[in-house]
Amino acid sequence: MKKQEREFKKRYFVLIIILAVIFAVSAVAVYFNSQVYTERLYPGEFFSSVSDYSVKIDNPDIVALKSVKNTKPYGSFDLPNFTFEGRSSGETTVSIYQNQDGKVNLKRDFRVLVLPGGFVFNSTAHEFNGYFVLFPSLLLSIFLVAVFFGRSFIEKQTKGEFSYSMVALGGAWLYSIGILLNLILYWAITSGNDRSFGISSFNELCSLLVYGGIMFAIITFPILLILAVAVSLSNLWLIRHEGVHPVNLLGMIFGFTIIAAFAFIIVFSSSRFLSDPFEYKVYSAIDSALQYAFCYLECMLFSTIVCAVMATRYKVPYSMDYIIILGCAIRSDGTPTPILRSRIDRAFEYEQAQFQATGKHACFIPSGGRGSDEIISEAESMKRCLLTLGVPEERILKEDKSVNTRQNMEYSKRIINENTNEGEEPAVAFSTTNYHVFRGYILAKKNGLKARGLSAKTKLYYYPNAFVREFIGLLFEERWRHLFYAGITALSFAVLAFIMM
């Protein structure tokens, strides 16, 4: 485990170094390309020839007009390009006028800032000539991040290391792929003219990032809709078999909530009727924060689904020394419920298959205390069932104090330690219902127990509702971590939106 952690940290360090190099090279390229600044007039502002203009610079000692030329980026229009170069540090106003039919009309008025070193910057529109370097650098950086997260995610799945860090890796991987596809799609649509890499301005690039959240939500909406419909339909099926109870409506409530949240984001993003510039900035910042907070939770949801499915499908190697059976409610007569019996059967089935394949037996640890409405402990109920299956009593180590899954793992680990020679590292598995396997991995790791999950089947109509409950439980258990990362993400893009809008 420590070796794998070192490998991950090494790979992470290499990624940071590569991204730092890309940033440094991009900064140098931006600097040299921004020693001049070019202002272009677009359709609606263009003149028939470059002679139909005049330029006024309030302070020619700061910036000077270097050249003027026509270009035809759209094939049929002559668009004048005014190129300015810096002379000294400072800021001044530049005005471009149209001279036509004896009339002089102001066409463009902006502030030009010359920084030390000759960097020329349009401080009114937040523009500079080197912006075109940033787009390919951004694409390459996001691609490398996606490769890093994707490789780490797949490695964890291959090695059976299911943990909450795997959810984070999967969520980051999904989001980086979504943003990368969004940028590539935009480039493919807009690169049919002479615009640099499909981006015509620095503001346009920033807008792509600011509104990347809503684009990601739109791209993934079909999956979100299918999920919402699926959990809602499963609830109808569940209610038909189990009756109407608040917990049986959880899937429908969840499906309605995610669709309502998506609809709210879309409506909020398209409702911009503010004329006051400051209010518009605040609105844009809130809009961007909501988008990215929603996308964060969406990625965590998708990643958790993928991780949960992978955890149930993972094939546990036949090398286990102990098999923990996680308890749940028993019947009034002390016998296991169908869910608990399926966990017992899955553990027994695996142990028998292991013995047939390797000749090695494993010890069972039925884990679960006695509830206030139960005549015996869950562990005792499971032990009796194992005995009827022919398991010798000496291979059953009962743990009957725990009241939840966290304690199942904690107290079972104590029993394992008591029955393991010093210096040995026992191989441990745990048996639980399929929707609960992934959370079992997480709680085992939190208790310092390296264990593999055995997935017991449950009724199909019960699974989606139970998974929603497990997902909400995971969110709550890691609420501070989620609040921190979602908050940092939302705040970062909110600040960018406020500055650039």
Amino acid at 171: G
Q: Which of 108-117, 208-217, 308-317 has the lowest mean pLDDT?
A: 208-217
Q: Is the pLDDT of residue 88 over 70?
A: yes
H-run or E-run covering 293 = helix 277-313
Segment 136-155, tens digit of pLDDT: 898 899 999 999 999 989 98
Given the structure tokens 């730092």, which residue do they identify? 20
pLDDT band at 72 (very low <50, low <70, confident <90, very high): low
Segment 325-360, tens digit of pLDDT: 999 888 888 899 989 999 999 999 999 999 999 999
Residue 500 DSSP SS3: helix
Q: Are 162 and 311 in contact (CB under 8 A)?
A: yes
pLDDT at 64: 93
What is the fold of 35-129? Answer: Immunoglobulin-like (2.60.40)
Q: Partners of 61 in the beta sheet? A: none
- What is the distance between the alpha carbons of residues 220 and 301, in angstroms, rounded to a whole number? 12
Kindly state the tokens that stand for 487. 């908050």
Backbone angles phi, psi at 177, to 5 degrees: -65, -40
Segment 438-465, tens digit of pLDDT: 989 988 988 889 899 999 988 777 777 7
Q: Which of 34-38, 126-130, 313-317 has the lowest mean pLDDT?
A: 126-130
pLDDT band at 162 (very low <50, low <70, confident <90, very high): confident
Helices (H), ranges, 314-362: 338-358
For helices 131-158 and 164-190, give the axis angle rounded to 10 degrees: 140
pLDDT band at 184 (very low <50, low <70, confident <90, very high): confident
pLDDT at 378: 93
CA-nearest of 57, 52, 56 to 99 is 52
Tell me, yes or no, if the two domains 35-129 and 322-426 fold the same way: no
Domain ranges of the chain: 35-129, 222-316+460-501, 322-426
Q: Are 496 and 280 in contact (CB under 8 A)?
A: no
pLDDT at 28: 93
Amino acid at 298: E
pLDDT at 111: 93
pLDDT at 8: 74
Q: Are 126 and 193 in contact (CB under 8 A)?
A: no
Mean pLDDT (whole number) for 428-434? 93
Q: Is the pLDDT of residue 59 over 60?
A: yes
For helices 479-500 and 277-313, give the axis angle rounded to 10 degrees: 140
Cross-sheet strand order for the sheet of 451-456: 363-367, 322-326, 428-433, 451-456
Superfamily of domain 322-426: HUPs (3.40.50.620)
Angle at 101 between CA 99 and CA 105, to 5 degrees: 40
Q: Are 362 and 322 in contact (CB under 8 A)?
A: yes
Segment 246-258, tens digit of pLDDT: 666 777 888 888 8
Question: Which one is predicted more confidently, 208 or 101?
Answer: 208
Q: Is the pLDDT of residue 192 over 60?
A: no
Q: Is the pLDDT of residue 487 over 70?
A: yes
CA-nearest of 346, 321, 336, 347 to 425 is 321
Amino acid at 280: Y
Confidence (pTM): 0.79
The phi-psi region of residue 420 (left if phi > 0; otherwise alpha if psi is between -120 and 50; otherwise beta) is beta
In the chain, the percentage of residues whose pLDDT exceeds 70 is 89
Residue 364 DSSP SS3: strand
Q: Is the pLDDT of residue 48 over 60?
A: no
pLDDT at 280: 78
Summary mean pLDDT of the chain? 84
Q: Is the pLDDT of residue 174 over 60?
A: yes
Q: Are 45 and 8 in contact (CB under 8 A)?
A: no
pLDDT at 54: 82
Backbone angles phi, psi at 498, to 5 degrees: -65, -40
In the DSSP assignment, the letter for residue 434 is G
CA-nearest of 464, 468, 429, 467 to 449 is 429
Angle at 200 between CA 197 and CA 205, to 5 degrees: 80
pLDDT band at 240 (very low <50, low <70, confident <90, very high): confident
Tell me the CA distances in angstroms from 41 to 57, 70, 124, 184, 198, one per residue in order. 17, 10, 15, 27, 18
Please, which residues have CB within 8 angstroms of residue 222's CB and are 6 or more apart in sequence?
none
- What is the distance between the alpha carbons of residues 338 and 358, in angstroms, rounded to a whole number? 30
pLDDT at 76: 54
- What is the distance between the alpha carbons of residues 144 and 138, in angstroms, rounded to a whole number? 10
H-run or E-run covering 121 = strand 120-122
- What is the distance between the alpha carbons of residues 501 and 498, in angstroms, rounded to a whole number? 6
Please, which residues have CB within 8 angstroms of residue 272's CB and are 6 or more apart in sequence?
280, 283, 284
pLDDT band at 264 (very low <50, low <70, confident <90, very high): confident
Q: Is the pLDDT of residue 311 over 80?
A: yes
Torsion angle of C-alpha atoms 142, 143, 144, 150, degrees rounded to 10? 100
pLDDT band at 498 (very low <50, low <70, confident <90, very high): confident
pLDDT at 78: 66
- Strands in 235-362 per DSSP E: 322-326
CA-nearest of 31, 30, 45 to 81 is 45
- What is the distance between the alpha carbons of residues 480 and 474, in angstroms, rounded to a whole number? 11
pLDDT at 271: 65
